[in-house]
Amino acid sequence: MTSRLYPTTRRLFRQVFVCMRKLGLLSVLSPLSFMVLALYICGLILLDKRQTATRVAEWLPGRAHDALNRLLTQQGISTRSLFTQVIEWAKRLGSGYLVVDEVILAKPYGKKCAWIGYLYSTSEKRYVKGMCAVVLLFCVDTWRIPIAFRLWRPKAHCAPDQYRKRTELAWEMLLEVAQTGLSIQYVAFDNLYTAGWLTKAVSHLGWTWVGMVESKAHICYHHRLWQAGQLAATLKLKWRSAFDLRACSLIAYLPKYGTLQLVVTRNRFGNFQVLATNDLGSDLSLIITRKRHRWSIETLFRDAKQFCGFTACQCIVDGAQVLHIAFVLLTFLVLQMLRRDPKETLGSFKDRLQREAMTGQSSAPSLLKGKMSQSVLSTA
């Protein structure tokens, strides 16, 4: 297959091949599927938009576009087995933290896929037609490693007894990760996933969690029942220059959660936030830092959309959409493995890979000096 590629793209294909072998994907894929998947990941890296099977086959003619379509629709690849190998590889990196969140993948022209519905997008501040993917991210040092995901099916597109909430999908992934033995320091949630039953279940696993409670959540403090927003407005907050906000810490009882340590913050725009954790011995700065670490999953969504073709799949088959998202998350991980410097952004690194594929790593000619003569212009 490598001999059929253009000479300038063979080096990238070999690099992706080596990274996939390090992840252990060859043990769960057939040799042919492994090679075609490496070709698919190379296509997601080289192309900036419209990463369809036809365009990937034009840029990387190692296999026809039909083989790439069969990879998505007929191979029967298990995404859980792929990410099980990723988790085994992540264990070697040491202890880290988990982040759970969802992303809306806009599909304005999708009609026949059962995953598509009208969802509220926080980035666009309106309802859009698309899919919702719940992603579990494992972070250690500078690594952002997606280790599981689930697609949420709208209630109108599934049987009543098969419908599951997004929090239920998140708990399913967390329980699977707990059974793998991955070393977890804490779990960071957004306000949607800081549900009472989910946080209690995470506490029963022996994990520390950090989240944000809603403004209407009930809090028992100083022998009085408050709403979180009302309590935050009555507290005296101290300026924290390290975080550029006002904050204070307290321990209180919440009927739906139990006894928690709360951190009430107010930013320079006057907005209140009530952070919560089950680690009663942690200090204020640690809670705020852990909650801010949740932003790493937002950068994952941004980079996957801009550089890995998160919304590029146009297939109407349900399984193809699931496999494409899995391959996009693997591409995101492969890009991190290929970087020479961890501080290099994925955008600049992908740009360098594209230049190497276009130029064959040949150096640029020297710049012309002075004005061009008429003879040079006529031969140009």
Contact assessment for residue 199 and residue 232, using Cβ atoms and an 8 Å cutoff: no
Domain boundaries, the chain: 2-79+315-359, 194-293
This prediction has a pTM of 0.91
pLDDT computed for residue 63 by the predictor: 86
CA dist., res. 87 & res. 96, Å (int): 12
Q: Which of 131, 103, 135 is nearest to 118 (CA)?
A: 131
* E strand map for 153-257: 184-188, 208-213, 218-220, 225-227, 238-240, 245-254
pLDDT computed for residue 372 by the predictor: 52
Task: Assign 3-class secondary structure to 208-232.
Answer: EEEEEECCCCEEECCCCEEEHHHHH
pLDDT computed for residue 373 by the predictor: 53
**Residue 255 CB contacts under 8 Å (≥ 6 apart), including other chains:** 218, 220
Per-residue pLDDT of the chain (380 residues; tens, 9 = 90+): 778 888 888 899 999 999 999 999 999 999 999 999 999 999 999 998 888 888 888 888 888 888 888 998 877 889 999 999 999 999 999 999 999 999 999 888 777 788 888 888 887 788 888 899 999 999 999 999 999 999 999 888 888 888 999 999 999 999 999 999 999 999 999 888 998 899 999 999 999 999 999 989 999 999 899 999 999 999 999 999 899 889 999 999 999 999 999 999 997 778 899 999 999 989 999 999 999 999 999 999 999 999 998 988 888 788 888 999 999 999 999 999 998 787 888 888 888 888 888 887 777 677 666 555 555 445 55
Q: DSSP per residue over 5-34, as a string?
A: S-TTTHHHHHHHHHHHHHTTGGGTS-HHHH
pLDDT computed for residue 182 by the predictor: 94
Q: Containing H/E element for 187?
A: strand 184-188
Phi-psi region of 244 (alpha: psi -120 to 50; beta: other; left: phi over 0): left
